[in-house]
Amino acid sequence: MQTAIIIVAAGRGTRAGGGRPKQWQALAGRPVLAHTVAAFRAVADLGPVALVIHPEDADLLQAAAIGDVIVAHGGATRNESVLAGLEALVPHAPDAVLIHDAARPLVDAAVIGRVCRALQDHDGAAPALEVTDALWRGAGGLVSGTQDRRGLWRAQTPQGFRYDAILAAHRAHRGDAADDVEVARAAGLSVAIVEGAERNLKITRAEDFARAEALMGGQMDIRTGNGFDVHACGPGDHVWLCGVKVPHDHGLVGHSDADVGMHAVTDAIYGALACGDIGQHFPPSDPQWKGAASEIFLRHACDLARDKGFAITHTDCTLICERPRIGPHAGAMRAALAGIMGLDPDRISVKATTSERLGFTGRGEGIAAIATATLVRS
């Protein structure tokens, strides 16, 4: 069963304050929406992601560097926005769809999995938490009565449905609705309740950001990877090091542009992801990579990290050589790597050392590099 995702992110979220809609505000250093998308991308076997955004938020989406998504523009109501997302998925013809609020960035694989499994036997399924607190009715600031809580549930998302059924239900629905379950039930669809999670909170007010960050602190997936590379010296009048063309009395020999520093950084990212190395993704036996710019490899590694829900928080590269001198070019190298990786330069370190004239680097026969990268998924 191919299951697509719709993330509804067209609202204005004014109760959260902050000067911009809550889905675009920072949570642990990244937009809320980036965390939400990453949560679904971390689950295997899910299909395309459709983002429903406000037409004025295209620049915010580009700046968020979320990756490959289907973009639809929302309407005046949530129902209209969901329908726009459903219509955008028509060419992809999924079997099922999960509809999720952008402001629930802490949804986890367990909740998503329970919804997907329930769809095997029901028209729809949605997570919820049983109401355990006493319920009051109030008027004028005073308690005016009580409400029996038996059979009451606190609804969450993602709410999952068979795609054709919920598309038809939304096309036929008139007026507003509290959520997609209401639309589905109005169309006669059965919706199963599955266990939700307290962690799957919806950010609504300013104080919810602090609560979400506190919950994220205990659930972070922090990865560290190492990369090492060597290239021999050969004919030439320059070398490429960390994206900078450095004049030299030799070149470096390699199938690509032989940027030994960038190769080490790239392999460090692949290592943190447990996804092999450059040679597996870009085989040297493939002639299309002959002389290729190494930034192609690095961009691929960074995109792969983002697709798996990771943020690259830091990288450190050490170049090992007697010559050329690295110090005068280190700032430019950091800037070049920062531009490719989408990081601030202060999260990138480039430095150099010698081998005290020992070994192949000491004899000027080649240049080596070692790199470390740190990735975080929350």
Q: Of 217, 238, 266, which one is at a domain's C-terminal end?
A: 217
- Peptide bond just before 48 cis, omega within 30 deg: no
Rounded CA-CA distance 31/127 in Å is 24
* Backbone angles phi and psi of 104, in degrees to 5: -115, 75
- Give residue 120's pLDDT: 93
Number of domains in the chain: 2
Paired strand residues for 7: 51, 100
Cβ pair 299, 342 in contact under 8 A? no
State yes or no: pLDDT of 62 exceeds 90: no
Name the packing angle between helices 78-88 and 163-172 (round to 10°). 140
**Tell me, what CATH number does 354's domain have?**
3.30.1330.50
Q: Of 198, 217, 236, which one is at a domain's C-terminal end?
A: 217
- Give residue 14's pLDDT: 72
Same-domain status, 210 and 236: no
Per-residue pLDDT tens for 220-270?
A: 688 999 999 999 999 999 999 999 999 999 999 998 999 999 999 999 999
**Tell me, what CATH number does 111's domain have?**
3.90.550.10
Same-domain status, 206 and 230: no
Same-domain status, 324 and 303: yes
Its pTM surpasses 0.85:
no
Same-domain status, 202 and 226: no
Cβ pair 101, 157 in contact under 8 A? yes
Same-domain status, 150 and 260: no
Percent of the chain with pLDDT over 70: 98
Same-domain status, 232 and 315: yes
Domain holding 341, by residue range, is 221-377
Q: Of 217, 234, 257, which one is at a domain's C-terminal end?
A: 217
Same-domain status, 348 and 371: yes
Per-residue pLDDT tens for 84-120?
A: 999 999 999 999 999 999 999 999 999 999 999 999 9
User: Where does the pLDDT of residue 216 fall: very low under 50, low under 70, confident under 90, or very high at 90 and above?
Assistant: confident
Same-domain status, 153 and 178: yes
